[in-house]
A and B are shown apart, each in its own frame.
Chain A
Amino acid sequence: MAEAAARNHQAGESYELRKVAKRGTYRAPPFLPLWALIGGVAAVVLIGAYPYYGSNAYVLSLLGKFLCFAIFALSIDLIWGFAGILSLGQAVYFGIGAYFVALSLKINYALTHPTRYGGKFPDFMEWNGLTELPHFMTPLISTPFAIFCALLVPTLLGLLFGVITFKRHIYGVYCAVITLAESLILQELIIEYQAYTGGFNGITDYSNYATPGFLWFILAVVVIFLVIARALTHSRVGTVLKSIRDNDVRAEFMGYNVANYRIFVFCVSAFMAAAAGALYAAWVGIVSFLDAGPVFSIEGVIWTAVGGRGTLIGPFIGTFLVKGAEFFLSGALAFWWQIIVGGLFIFVVLVLRDGIVGSIGNWLRKRKKGASVRQMIEDSDQKAHDRQLDWSPGGPPSVDEPVR
């Protein structure tokens, strides 16, 4: 080594001028692996063709609902799995999107279905003492405008949230607590202003769109969002986001404005959650304060964790498994269901840290290298242990404490 360096030195050669003698092999992962293409097409066909082979309207309504929930989980995965931002208030964006669409549909429904006293405005407003549609709500008569608001307002809110937290270097646990508070506040506001929001009862009794055609529309949105999410996480921005997730201090000292990247991905995620909410309101025909609350937010986090954060297919598998099990089992196990879901989350955190999809991926990768199952579990434990040591409340530690 020293001799070689001396030779280089004599030749006046710098490493900049050296020819690359040996190029290693690096295969970037493909944009769309074959298994994902086959599985994706199969899933789309299976769900999309349900109206042709199934006749159960309840199952049809569940399918649309699950797809909306899955988009919601995808939006959580995008910020949590790929950028390391844990939000416990993602339902805020879902809820606002849902309320805009539900209000608009309700107002339009009331135009053709007068209330008991002949008022042509939503019945819950009448019950709460209003005599006409509030002026600030009249633009919502136009459904396209309401959809526009349903998508834009949450995105701007996400931008605002990002600017006031990430720009001030607030992330990690503090950020999670702030998002939790955010959804509590929204929930309280909805209940408090029941003349405009329906309060505890939510907004019901309007014409919803539970038709096969709308199911296909939701499916199309799912596919588009998946492609967008894949393009995003597969691009250079995605690599930068993952590097910020892994080590934000290093990324900052590599010249990346960490706050701006976090704000960007947070806005994209808020947009997706809002779209999911808008579709959900139009599909099920009932929106309530629970759809904007912390419990729903945390449920989304659990679906993502169970399916596998940091993978795009994980949120879908997690949502369909947990939500599906809930609809089939909660009848028989009504009292125990919440406890079972909580237990499932603890199990995933303790044993399947990367969720179902992530763990299968790890297993396949390590099996190629001939590691035994026992070894894999030990590796996983060791890694979790190491990360625990690294943990600090403000996110990853600054390794460079002042030395005295």
Chain B
Amino acid sequence: MASLLEVKGLIARASGFTILNNLDFNIEENELRVLLGPNGAGKTTLISMITGQFKPVAGSIHFAGRDITNWPPDDIFQAGISRKFQVPNMYETLSVFDNIMVSLQGRRRVFATLFQRLSSEERDRIWEILEFVELTDRASDPADSLSHGERQWLELGMLIASNPKLLLLDEPTTGMTEDGKRKTAELIRRIAKTHTVLLVEHDMHIVRQIGQRITVLHQGQTLADGPMSEVMNNEMVRRVYLGKGKFQ
């Protein structure tokens, strides 16, 4: 069976730099994949390419059997890919409840949403998600009154609400306390039971806690790919990372 996501020969350039250099990358269904790499390896660019924010110079991206290269972001979302931004990114003045409501899976066209009412199933679903990300008590508060960690969880909740086939999580633990990071890692593990997840992460504690198949990017190419223990002992990976002291 074909992979859920197939990236072939992807090349990305920006202001003269080659960010992704002929990159091949696959994700199977129901996989939890961790994407590692030093700064500038092209992790975020890869995610931006998949979600249609940037157009590749060459190469193709296939998702669930369809060629989604050069699709606009909203169509790629409709195909089943949701992304989490590095910085928490939600609707600040809307209430937490409305943030989830707007993200629910459903029709997205103007005239379809014009007369749509919130059904009781949708309402249950929102409470289910709020409970999952432990924001039930904050439902009526505007999103900009949340703390940094709570915002990250709210955005995770929004992603789950959209019920995608593939979740792209770009460093969801950035700027969190140790407790917050642990909680986020737990959330991700639970999400991964029912969804395919691609996680970009710097923090090795989190990577160890999640401990699945790892892909290491370096200078726009795949440096290593395999299970946790194998990649950790890879000579090349150690050399790339040692200067940064990440594996200590």
Contact = CB atoms under 8 A, between A and B. Distances in A.
Given A247-B89, A247-B90, A247-B92, A254 B103 contact: yes
Contact of B162 (A23, A237, A255): A255
Interface of A: 1-2, 5, 8, 14-16, 18, 20-27, 235-237, 239-240, 242-243, 245-247, 249-258, 260-261, 264, 383, 398-400, 402-404
A254 B158 contact: yes
B102 A252 contact: no
Contacts of A251: 91, 102
Contacts of A24: 127, 130, 136-137, 139-140
Contact of A15 (B92, B98, B132): B132
B83 A264 contact: no
B19 interface: yes
Interface stretch (B3-11, B39-47, B58-66, B240-248): B39-47
A20 B97 CA distance: 15
A255 B77 contact: yes
A400 B48 contact: yes
Contacts of A400: 44, 48, 53, 85-86, 170
15 contacts: A15-B191, A18-B131, A24-B127, A237-B110, A246-B91, A247-B92, A253-B51, A254-B103, A255-B108, A260-B110, A399-B87, A400-B44, A400-B48, A402-B54, A403-B19
Interface stretch (B21-29, B182-190, B222-230, B231-239): B182-190
Nearest to A386: B144
A239 B99 CA distance: 9
A1 B127 CA distance: 20
Query: How extensive is the interface on chain B, given as a class?
Result: 35 or more
Given A257-B109, A260-B110, A247 B190 contact: no
A257 B108 contact: yes
Contacts of A404: 14, 17, 19, 40
B97 A26 contact: yes
Contact of B95 (A26, A255, A257, A260): A26
A250 B91 contact: yes
Contacts of B191: 15
B194 interface: yes
